[in-house]
Structure 1
Amino acid sequence: MFETFPLPSCFLPTTAILIRSSVCQNKPYGCCFRSCTMSAVSSLVPARFLTLTAHLVIVITIFWSRENNVKACLPLDFTQEQYDDEDMKLVVGLAVTLGLFAVELAGFFSGVSMFNCSQGLLSLAVHCSASVSLSFFVIEKWECWTYWVIFAICSVLPAFVEMFLFIAVFGLKKKPL
């Protein structure tokens, strides 16, 4: 019933137990084994969660330390009204970012996009980029307009794709993968 068979080099273990089944009788040796991409997909899930969490932590940190970034947006001689205006713009951007996080985390934890390779890679790349970029935004006191560029690429794009997946899964009744 069980056989040991050497696997391709993409697998970490050198052998695996393969189960004979009637479904797999047409394959060579009558055995089924998972493809090399399964280990990559399973490692995307924790990496995606960690980058999402890192991006979320940085956004919360910006809420606490936004004063220096708001001042970087203003001329040297600014009024309180100008400061309040720029501060409100940044707070609105951060609040919308948190709303987009809610959308993305809902899709992730509901399973709609947890094992979707395309969304996993997109989310991993943009949230990692956002974490690094927003860290520099805080440390280097970048101007406020740079937040909006980071916001558009690293928050809106993955949330839009997540909403598309929600529509596909719940509206069109497609499989989550």
Structure 2
Amino acid sequence: MPMPSSLVPSRFLTLMAHFVIVINIFWSREDNVLACLPPRYTPGQYQSRDTELIVALSVTLGMFLIELLGFFSGVSMFNSTQNLISVGAHTSASVALLFFLFDQWSCSAYWWIFAFCSALPACVEIVLMVTVFGLKRKPL
């Protein structure tokens, strides 16, 4: 089954777009933390939400590392299923995180975006890496 030639560059570009948006959220974290807090908050509440957002963004960067390792090692670069999952997830994440950044959504919304748009493709990537490196089989 021939793979469309545009999936590999599309996957890389959407992954990088998602990565750049996550870095921008790191830089402008204060506004999003304030959006997660009630009008009157204590410094402890601010610190708690700030730590939560830092952890969420750090785990997202870890998921990027997993995906990039699988992509650049060649395990999933030409796997059309993984490419489609990754392109769809990272495109959705880019759009959703732009709304998160500009409309200052609640911090709990980030965890939903993370689960469906970062953890899902990273988990599929881990399964492919285990299949190729651990079981020494060609991925489907």
TM bracket (short chain): over 0.9
- TM-score w.r.t. the length of structure 1 is 0.77
- Equivalent residue for 1:71? 34
CA positional deviation for 1:94: 0.3
- Equivalent residue for 1:104? 67
Selected match of 1:93 from 46, 56, 75:
56
Residues 17-41 of structure 1, C-alpha deviation per residue, up to 9 Å, x if partnerless? Answer: xxxxxxxxxxxxxxxxxx6x34x1x
- Equivalent residue for 1:52? 15
Aligned CA-pair RMSD = 1.0
Note the residue ranges of structure 2 that are not aligned, 5 or more in a row. Answer: none
Amino acid at match of 1:145: S
> Which structure features the higher share of strand residues?
1
CA positional deviation for 1:176: 4.1
Amino acid at match of 2:29: R
Percent identical residues: 62
Structure 2 residue 103 is the aligned partner of structure 1 residue 140:
yes
Residues 103-124 of structure 1, C-alpha deviation per residue, up to 9 Å, x if partnerless? Answer: 0000000000000011000000
Structure 2 residue 46 is the aligned partner of structure 1 residue 83:
yes
Greater gyration radius: 1
- Equivalent residue for 1:161? 124
- Equivalent residue for 1:118? 81
Residues 75-109 of structure 1, C-alpha deviation per residue, up to 9 Å, x if partnerless? Answer: 10001110000000000000000001000000000
> Which structure features the higher share of helix residues?
2
Amino acid at match of 1:74: L
Amino acid at match of 1:170: F
**Cα contact 1:111–1:176 (8 A) shared by 2:** no
Runs of 4+ more than 3 Å apart: none
Residues 119-174 of structure 1, C-alpha deviation per residue, up to 9 Å, x if partnerless? Answer: 00000000000000001100001110000000000011100000000010011111
Residues 36-85 of structure 1, C-alpha deviation per residue, up to 9 Å, x if partnerless? Answer: x34x1x21000000000000000000000111111111110001110000
Higher relative contact order (CA 8 A, sep 6+): 2
